[in-house]
Amino acid sequence: MKITGTLKNAYIVANIAVGDIYGDIEGRFPDGSSISTSDIMKRFEVDGKTIIQTLSGSHYILEEIPDEDLS
């Protein structure tokens, strides 16, 4: 599995992830760009990190906003 990038300040809404992308290996987005993913197909943990797989086949590490910061 190849990690496409890391989504920081990420949150899930309507089965997509929204966040700031860092380390995009495909070179589509500069670090810190706000993106939304395609539909999330799978969510799992690897070495204590949350990974999502999207419909387009991308794999992102999620660094989510804590629930208490969303209010």
For 7-56, how does the pLDDT look when each residue is reduced to its tens digit (9 = 90+)? 999 999 999 999 999 999 999 999 999 999 999 999 999 999 999 999 99
Burial of 47 (0-12, 13-18, 19+ CB in 10 A): exposed
| Cα angle: 51, vertex 39, 55; to 5 degrees | 80
Quick check: 68 pLDDT over 70? Answer: no
Q: Tokens representing 22?
A: 């860092």
Cα–Cα distance for residue pair 38/33, rounded to 1 Å = 16
The pLDDT value given to residue 18: 96
Q: What is the pTM of this model?
A: 0.87
The pLDDT value given to residue 67: 61
The pLDDT value given to residue 65: 73
The pLDDT value given to residue 23: 97
**Torsion, Cα of 36, 38, 41, 44 (10° steps):** -30
